[in-house]
Every structure is written in structure tokens, then in C-alpha cells.
């Protein structure tokens, strides 16, 4: 059986370090979130909010224009762009560090066109997080993946659609084989979320059923985007994002039967400040 390593607090504490004094928003990356059709606008808001509160230097949401107002009403910190405006995306995407595609995107023809545009424009040096309906589209349309750093964030059913592995057959061995065939990192969302990357398999040690509410996955994409945008070690950044999202929920769950996406995003800055204050000695005792 394959060895799974545990994602624990010390990885997060080693990743979220105090920022250097003489740094600027440009040092913390520009994240583009793509998604949110006329029915699922909330999903792209939640992903974008997590990217902003998670510390990305700049965040732009490419979404259906019907979502511009609701996004800005609670998140003036983000910029917006029409996700069907190919000319604009063509200018914008090369300037990004990290792109999230999928939250609330839907699976209709327009969604597919948008996804194809992103796949066409993404650059090899960028990180592309593929979530939700974008995973379904990749699976259903057998789309060719672009040549870039990809992170898939499926739940077990989406993973089945993508790989053909039924939930009960999703063993570490089979998952790893599928992940390596995809040439991508995979965050397989479940009770104890698993992260497959290169030749490593990691398992989350925190998180609970207070996260069992719509939007938790959208929020996770934003946290991952912010972390890989701003932290040097991309693997640890990814693992830290998975842990942080769940650990905040656990902390809030002391006083909340469900931990809603907006609650988790709003708690990101203080959780990250806590982590940044830890010294190596603290970490041992954590």
C-alpha cells in the first residue's frame, strides 16, 4: 500500500511566515477566478472572496456581467471582467499568476466556450486550478488539458467522471495512477481530503461536517489560489491551503453548527496572522 503523509499544522506554519517589510501587492500574485453564470453567481463570489481574504496581491473575477454588482457589493477589493469577452481575456490572462476556472461556471455551451478560451490562453508558467463544472466539462467533452501547472479539485463523483474510477474503487494506488496520467495535481475532496502530487500522497488531518454546505469547495479554490500565488514553495502552499480551509472550519465549528463560506473567508486573515506568529518552538508543541 502507498504511503500517505499527513498534512499537519507544521507545514502551514512553515509556509505562512511573516511578510518581508519591503514588499508590494505585486509580490503576492494576481489571481483570476473564472466562473459564475446567471444562476450560480454566488460560487464565483465565494471563490473570489477567499482569494482576496487569503492574501493574493490582486484578484480579478471573470464572470457573467449580471454578477458584477453583487460581487462588488461585498467585495470591492476585487476587479471584474466579462468572462465572454475574449479580447479582454486575451489581454488579461497573460498577466496572471494563478487562474481558477469552474466555480459556478455551469456546463452549457457558453461555459464550454469560456473554458476553451482559458485553456487556449493559459501559459506554461501559470498555475491553473480546475474545479466543479469545469471538471465535468473536461470529462464529458474529453477536452485536452493545456500545458501548464494544473490542480484539479474534484469531489469523489467529479473524480469518477474524470477518471472512470467508481468511489468505492478510489484507492490511493488507482488515484495516483490516474493523477499521473493527467500530469496534474489532484485535491480529492472527501472526509479526509487527499492531495496527489508528483510521487507524493498527502492526507488532511482536520476538517469536519460543519463544512457540509454549499460553497465550501468554491471557497477552497480561492484559498488555494491565494496561497500558491503568494508563497514560494507551491507544494507546501497547496497543502497549507487544504489544511487552513478545514482548520478554520474546525475552529469556527466550536460555535457554529455549519461554517458557511463567508464565515471561513472572513476568518482567513486572523488565522494566517496566528500562523505567522508561530516560532519553530511553537510548531513542535502545536
> Which residue numbers belong to the known binding site for (6S)-NADPHX?
43, 104, 155, 218
Q: Is 95 in the site for a second copy (CB under 8 A)?
A: no
How many Å apart are CA 136 and CA 162, to the nearest integer?
Answer: 7
Q: How many residues bind a second copy (CB under 8 A)?
A: 70
The three cell numbers of residue 147 are 500545458
Q: Is 90 in the site for a second copy (CB under 8 A)?
A: no
3-state secondary structure of 204: strand
Contacts with a second copy in 12-31 (CB under 8 A)?
A: 16, 19-25, 27-28
Site for a second copy (CB under 8 A): which residue of 40, 196, 202, 227? 40
The stretch near a second copy (CB under 8 A) out of 55-63, 129-137, 143-151, 198-206 is: 55-63
Ramachandran category for residue 253: left, alpha or beta (phi over 0 → left; psi -120 to 50 → alpha): alpha
Question: Which of 56, 55, 13 shows the shortest CA–CA distance to 236?
Answer: 13
Q: Is 141 in the site for a second copy (CB under 8 A)?
A: no
The three cell numbers of residue 246 are 478545514
3-state secondary structure of 16: coil
Contacts with a second copy in 237-256 (CB under 8 A)?
A: 253-256
Question: Which of 9, 79, 75, 81 shows the shortest CA–CA distance to 42?
Answer: 75
How many Å apart are CA 128 and CA 89, to the nearest integer?
Answer: 15
Binding-site residues for AMP: 189-193, 217
Q: Which residue has the cell 469531489?
A: 155
Please report, for the chain, how many H helices and E strands are present, in that order. 12, 10
Which is closer to a second copy, CB of 164 or CB of 269?
Answer: 269
* One character per residue 196-225, x = contact with a second copy (rule: CB under 8 A): ------------xxx-xxxxx---------
Q: Is 188 in the site for a second copy (CB under 8 A)?
A: no
Site for a second copy (CB under 8 A): which residue of 1, 3, 76, 142? 76
Give the end-to-end CA distance of the chain in Å, rounded to a whole number: 29
Binding-site residues: 43, 104, 155, 189-193, 217-218
Shortest separation between residue 213's beta carbon and a second copy, angstroms: 6
Residue 159, CA distances (Å) to 89, 144, 167, 222 in order = 28, 16, 8, 20
Site for a second copy (CB under 8 A): which residue of 45, 121, 186, 248? 45
Return residues touching a second copy (CB under 8 A).
Answer: 16, 19-25, 27-28, 38-43, 45-46, 49, 52-53, 55-59, 66-81, 155, 191, 208-210, 212-216, 253-263, 268-270, 272-273, 275-276
Amino acid at each position: 500500500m502507498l504511503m500517505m503523509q499527513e498534512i499537519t499544522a507544521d507545514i502551514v506554519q512553515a509556509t505562512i511566515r511573516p511578510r518581508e517589510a519591503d514588499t508590494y501587492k505585486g509580490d503576492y500574485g494576481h489571481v483570476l477566478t473564472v466562473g459564475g453564470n446567471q444562476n450560480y453567481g454566488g460560487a464565483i463570489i465565494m471563490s473570489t472572496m477567499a482569494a482576496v481574504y487569503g492574501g493574493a496581491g490582486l484578484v480579478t473575477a471573470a464572470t457573467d456581467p449580471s454578477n458584477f454588482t453583487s460581487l462588488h457589493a461585498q467585495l470591492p477589493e476585487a476587479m471584474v471582467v466579462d468572462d465572454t469577452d475574449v479580447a479582454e481575456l486575451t489581454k488579461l490572462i497573460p498577466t496572471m499568476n494563478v487562474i481558477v476556472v469552474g466555480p459556478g461556471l455551469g456546463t452549457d455551451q457558453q461555459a464550454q466556450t469560456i473554458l476553451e478560451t482559458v485553456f487556449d490562453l493559459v501559459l506554461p508558467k501559470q498555475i491553473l486550478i480546475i474545479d466543479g463544472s469545469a471538471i465535468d466539462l473536461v470529462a464529458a467533452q474529453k477536452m485536452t488539458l493545456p500545458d501548464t501547472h494544473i490542480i484539479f479539485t474534484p469531489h469523489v463523483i467529479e473524480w469518477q467522471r474524470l477518471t472512470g474510477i467508481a468511489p468505492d474503487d478510489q484507492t490511493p494506488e488507482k488515484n495516483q495512477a490516474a493523477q499521473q496520467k493527467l500530469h496534474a495535481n489532484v485535491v480529492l475532496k472527501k472526509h479526509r481530503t487527499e492531495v496527489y502530487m508528483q510521487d507524493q500522497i498527502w492526507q488532511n488531518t482536520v476538517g469536519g461536517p460543519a463544512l457540509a454546505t454549499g460553497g465550501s469547495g468554491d471557497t477552497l479554490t480561492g484559498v488555494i489560489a491565494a496561497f500558491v500565488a503568494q508563497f514560494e514553495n507551491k507544494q507546501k502552499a497547496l497543502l497549507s491551503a487544504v489544511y487552513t480551509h478545514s482548520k478554520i472550519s474546525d475552529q469556527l465549528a466550536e460555535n457554529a453548527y455549519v461554517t458557511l463560506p463567508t464565515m471561513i473567508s472572513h476568518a482567513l486573515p486572523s488565522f494566517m496572522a496566528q500562523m505567522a506568529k508561530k516560532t519553530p518552538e511553537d510548531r513542535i508543541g502545536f
